[in-house]
């Protein structure tokens, strides 16, 4: 019997027990299923249909309750933002030594002459920790003492679509769950009236690479663990808006009638699906209030709007950062922001600066805002793209690059003001303490109290996990 059958069994048993005794059964199960809720001393709500997570106890003491993943989609050039290479500046225009590139995978520069292309911006030491960060990211620079920069990331896929899939699911094969789905499956949702995995997308500053819905798909996990994309145009959540000509009261009457008719039918049908269906309609109804409430930022003081640099509602990265904080406050487990403007095959100098300008201030605002509210201590922040860019020129731009790139982490359980790992002197390969995408995933799960080898799901006879068959927790970045 697999876990879902167990769950179904419990649900059906609750129906057998009848409504009078349901509370007890559910309470017991909830506390078994969700130690996080219990540990926090929260009253356990008996919410039928709400998923409490497969893990009955954390494998380690959890540090993070939620994560905000700031996906810099398109592949930001580490050489212009987080990984300064004076040697590369020195060798600007000279041929890239073949010892670096021989036998390595190359994307658009296939067959082209490979010349070094020096960093286009100065770097500066920021904060007490004196971290080297590009002068085009002054706001992120101001976070220097809170963040841990990993300069030795590497990945396996060199084109956007599969590389994003790899970053999100740990494989480039489709049909596998994304990291948000894994977390929901493992830990459940803390949110009664919002989805537990929310995706927000903005663009600008470079060529907008497509982002497929696959990136937040639950793959072979049930679709309840899928990410839900929030939109800046139309309904924020698809179909959350009432039909034309239907008032809130009118809609409530319809939903109440649906639920009472389902209830009447179930008196003879004894169908556990119906009990779940009723609770899902209740949640849908709550979402019709909670989602507009979330999106309505009229309660944000001017100081906050100024800090993020947004008036909201425009689908910009800044507006999405503000929403990310609001989602975090509401207990959403996994918030993923995409900013699509980092693909700079040409004109890397202006391109990176423009894109950096669109994300820098709001990123810093988000971290500071969370910190001020005491949320940063249990919110994990990840900032980075699906790969980096070549130290070699592609005209006046840079090509895709997978052997070395940079990201940074902050918040829950992260050792701020530090960096980890390094690329070689030309910024080509991660040579010191390389961190694979699987290692990053293992570390993220670890911060949630999860042993990445133990969060598995059986599909086609095999116990799958986010980290496939490898992944080591990067202990050095942990506080």
Stretch near another protein under the rule CB under 8 A, chosen from 226-234, 322-330, 423-431, 470-478: 226-234
- The C-alpha R_g of the chain, in whole angstroms, comes to 24
The answer to whether the Cα torsion of 126, 131, 135, 137 is positive or negative is: negative
What is the footprint of another protein within residues 338-367 (CB under 8 A)?
340
Q: Among all chains, which residue has been given the structure tokens 């995933």? A: 441
Q: Shortest Cβ distance from residue 87 to another protein (Å)?
A: 26
Residue 463: alpha-carbon gap to chain centroid: 23
Answer yes or no whether residue 265 interacts with another protein by CB under 8 A: yes
Q: Shortest Cβ distance from residue 306 to another protein (Å)?
A: 28
Answer yes or no whether residue 463 interacts with another protein by CB under 8 A: yes
What is the footprint of another protein within residues 141-170 (CB under 8 A)?
158-162
**Closer CB to another protein, 115 or 262, in the complex:** 262
CA distance 214 to 227: 10
What is the footprint of another protein within residues 188-217 (CB under 8 A)?
195, 201, 208-214, 217
Q: Shortest Cβ distance from residue 158 to another protein (Å)?
A: 7
Answer yes or no whether residue 289 interacts with another protein by CB under 8 A: no
What is the contact mask toward another protein in residues 227 to 246, using x (rule: CB under 8 A)? -x--x-xxx-xxxxxxxxxx
CB 51 within 8 A of CB 224: yes
Stretch near another protein under the rule CB under 8 A, chosen from 112-120, 282-290, 326-334, 358-366: 282-290
Answer yes or no whether residue 72 interacts with another protein by CB under 8 A: no
- Number of Cβ atoms within 10 Å of the Cβ of 86: 11
By CB under 8 A, the count of residues binding another protein is 100
DSSP state string for 163-211: HHHHHHHSSSSTT---HHHHHHHHH----SSS-SEEEEEE--SSB----
Answer yes or no whether residue 8 interacts with another protein by CB under 8 A: yes
Can you point out the beta strands (E) in 347-404? Answer: 379-384, 388-394, 397-401
Which residue intervals of 35-101 are DSSP H helices? 35-39, 78-81, 86-90, 98-101
List 92, 135, 257, 289, residue binding another protein (CB under 8 A): 257
Quick one: tokens of 411? 């918040």
Q: What angle do CA 131, 132, 138 make, to 5 degrees?
A: 95
List 22, 27, 89, 258, residue binding another protein (CB under 8 A): 258
What is the footprint of another protein within residues 100-139 (CB under 8 A)?
103, 105, 107-108, 110
Q: Shortest Cβ distance from residue 57 to another protein (Å)?
A: 4
């Amino acid at each position: 019997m697999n876990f879902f059958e167990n769950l179904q069994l419990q649900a059906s048993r609750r129906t057998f027990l009848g409504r009078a005794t349901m509370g007890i059964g559910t309470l017991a199960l909830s506390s078994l299923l969700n130690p996080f809720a219990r540990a926090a001393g929260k009253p356990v709500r008996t919410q039928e249909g709400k998923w409490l997570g497969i893990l009955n106890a954390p494998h380690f003491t959890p540090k993070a309750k939620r994560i905000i993943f700031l996906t810099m989609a398109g592949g930001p050039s580490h050489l212009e933002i987080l990984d300064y290479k004076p040697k590369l500046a020195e060798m600007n225009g000279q041929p890239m030594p073949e010892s670096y590139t021989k036998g390595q995978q190359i994307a658009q520069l296939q067959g082209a002459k490979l010349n070094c292309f020096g960093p286009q911006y100065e770097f500066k030491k920021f904060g007490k920790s004196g971290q080297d960060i590009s002068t085009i990211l002054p706001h992120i620079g101001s976070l220097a003492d809170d963040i841990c920069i990993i300069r030795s990331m590497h990945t396996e896929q060199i084109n956007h679509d599969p590389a994003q899939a790899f970053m999100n699911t740990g494989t480039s094969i489709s049909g596998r769950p994304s990291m948000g789905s894994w977390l929901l499956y493992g830990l459940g949702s803390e949110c009664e009236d919002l989805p537990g995995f929310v995706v927000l997308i903005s663009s600008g500053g470079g060529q907008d690479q497509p982002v497929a819905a696959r990136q937040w798909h639950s793959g072979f996990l049930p679709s309840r663990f899928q990410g839900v994309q929030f939109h800046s145009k139309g309904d924020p959540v698809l179909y959350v808006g009432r039909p034309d000509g239907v008032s809130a009261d009118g809609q409530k009457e319809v939903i109440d009638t649906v639920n009472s008719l389902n209830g009447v039918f179930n008196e003879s049908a004894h169908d556990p699906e119906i009990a779940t269906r009723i609770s899902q309609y209740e949640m849908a109804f709550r979402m019709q209030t909670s989602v507009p409430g979330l999106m309505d930022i009229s309660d944000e003081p001017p100081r906050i709007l100024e800090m993020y640099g947004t008036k909201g509602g425009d689908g910009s990265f800044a507006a999405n950062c503000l929403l990310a904080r609001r989602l975090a406050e509401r207990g959403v487990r996994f918030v993923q922001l995409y900013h699509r403007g980092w693909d700079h095959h040409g004109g890397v100098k202006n391109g990176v600066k423009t894109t950096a300008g669109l994300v820098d201030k709001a990123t810093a605002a988000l971290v500071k805002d969370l910190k001020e509210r005491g949320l940063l201590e249990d919110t994990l922040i990840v900032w980075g793209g699906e790969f980096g860019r070549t130290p070699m020129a592609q005209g006046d731009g840079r090509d895709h690059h997978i052997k070395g790139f940079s990201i940074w982490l902050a918040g829950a359980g992260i050792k701020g003001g530090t960096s980890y790992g390094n690329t070689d002197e030309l910024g080509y390969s991660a040579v010191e303490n390389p961190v694979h995408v699987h290692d990053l995933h293992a570390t993220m799960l670890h911060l949630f109290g999860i042993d990445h080898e133990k969060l598995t799901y059986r599909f086609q006879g095999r116990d799958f996990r986010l980290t496939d068959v490898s992944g080591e927790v990067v202990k050095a970045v942990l506080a």
